[in-house]
Every structure is written in C-alpha cells, then in structure tokens.
Amino acid sequence: MYDRPTIDELLSAAVQHFETQVIPAVKDNGKLYFQTLVAINVLKVAERELKLGWSHLLAEWNDLNALEGQPRDLPSDPDAIKTALAERQQQLCARIRAGDYDEPPHETALFEYVLGSVTRSLEVANPRFLQTLAEEDKSKSSE
C-alpha cells in the first residue's frame, strides 16, 4: 500500500545504522553503549513482530479453538481479532483457575496450547533463547 521504503526496510536500516555507526562510537561509554544495545533489541523485536504477528495471531486463534473443542469464526477486522483473542484468553484463565484443566486429557491439551503460545512469544521476543533450548534438547536426545 505504501511506497518504498517499507516499514521492514526502515527498521532494518535503523538497526544497521546503530550496529555499524553508533555502537563503535559509544563503545567506551558503558551507559550509552548499553542503551544503544537495548534500542537495537527493541527495533529487532518490532521487526519480528511485524513479520510474524499475523501468522502468530491466526495460530493463537486456531490453538484456542482446538483447546476449547468448539471452533469460533475469526472476526474480519484485525482490531476485533485482538480484542476477541484477549477476551478468550481471559476466559481461559478463569477456566484454569476453576480447575477445568486439572485432569487428563485436558491438562495435556492445555500444556500443548501454552507451549505453542510461549514458543510464538519467544520467536518474537528472544529467538536466540528458543534456539538455545532447541540445541539443548537436541544434545540430550543424542546422548
């Protein structure tokens, strides 16, 4: 819809600028160096969220449908999807507190849902940590 540069290109250019120009210039100032690293991380999180956000939203909706065993249609408006998803998650929390997922097979289904949700969050917030976990699992399974 918009002309170039795209939002992805803008974020990437900002990250590249910080990494190649700003970091070397502020390396001797510990506080500014740390703040710059934080700014780079924020931009990278925003990039990943823009890239993965829609597919994660759909996956979350579908995973909740599977967990609840009663598929709900996805609202057509993106803002309505986010609102409805937040409401469904609040309802899930209430059901968890009520003990609805304390026994098999419900607890297993809840575990699978939470695992998927946390994995999606880590794909955006900290993919290196997710990769480290995968490597640890791989090394344990090869022993």
pLDDT in tens, 74-132: 999 989 999 999 999 999 999 999 999 999 999 999 999 999 999 999 999 999 999 99
Handedness of CA 79, 81, 87, 93 (dihedral sign): negative
**Residue 45's Cα: distance from chain center in Å?**
9
Q: What's this model's pTM, rounded to 2 decimal places?
A: 0.86
Contact 18, 39 (CB under 8 A): yes
The overall average pLDDT reported for the chain is 95
**2 vs 122, higher pLDDT:** 122
pLDDT in tens, 101-113: 999 999 999 999 9
Residue 1 reports pLDDT greater than 90: no
CA atoms within 13 A on the CB side of 79: 0
- Report cis status (omega within 30 of 0) of the bond before 104: no
